[in-house]
């Protein structure tokens, strides 16, 4: 029996190895995040909207008020991170598993359209 860290790393490696080739391909394509795409409106300021776009390694977020684009890299299926800006993006899902809102830093945005 190894240390807890060794056991965790072994578990991660085994789960990656256990993926079928189709699952590995799915994990590396924008299709994995396609259901998160759409427009989201800020709860605090209704003029602030963002659009999420699925990308190879995560999600591209476009701020609709200034057209600035930020790339977030996948950490988990619902947690994305931009290391350069030290900024997190969380996807919140409803009971059926569909994206209903996002947390961008401390701001919450509700999904308003595809």
- Model confidence pLDDT, tens digit, residues 64-82: 999 999 999 999 889 999 9
Mean pLDDT of the chain: 82
For residue 31, what pLDDT is reported?
81
Q: Which residues contact 48 (CB under 8 A, 6 or more apart)?
A: 41, 42, 63, 64, 65, 107, 109
pLDDT, one tens digit per residue, over 3-29 is: 655 555 555 544 444 444 445 444 556
Q: Which of 84, 97, 91, 81 is nearest to 111 (CA)?
A: 91
Under 8 Å between Cβ of 59 and 65:
no
CA 66 vs. chain centroid, Å, equals: 21
Write the CB contacts of 53 (distance below 8 Å, at least 6 apart in sequence). Answer: 37, 59, 60, 61, 62
Residue 50 has pLDDT above 90, yes or no: yes
pTM of the entire predicted model? 0.73
């Amino acid at each position: 029996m190894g240390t807890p860290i060794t056991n965790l790393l072994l578990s991660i490696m085994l789960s990656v190895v256990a993926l079928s080739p189709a699952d590995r391909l799915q994990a590396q394509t924008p299709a994995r995040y396609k259901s998160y795409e759409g427009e989201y409106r800020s709860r605090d300021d209704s003029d602030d909207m963002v659009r999420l776009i699925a990308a190879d390694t995560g999600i591209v977020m476009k701020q609709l008020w200034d057209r600035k684009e930020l790339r977030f890299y996948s950490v988990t299926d619902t947690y994305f991170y931009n290391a350069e800006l030290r900024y997190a993006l969380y996807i919140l899902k409803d009971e059926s598993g569909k994206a209903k809102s996002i947390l961008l830093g401390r701001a919450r945005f509700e999904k308003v359209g595809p």
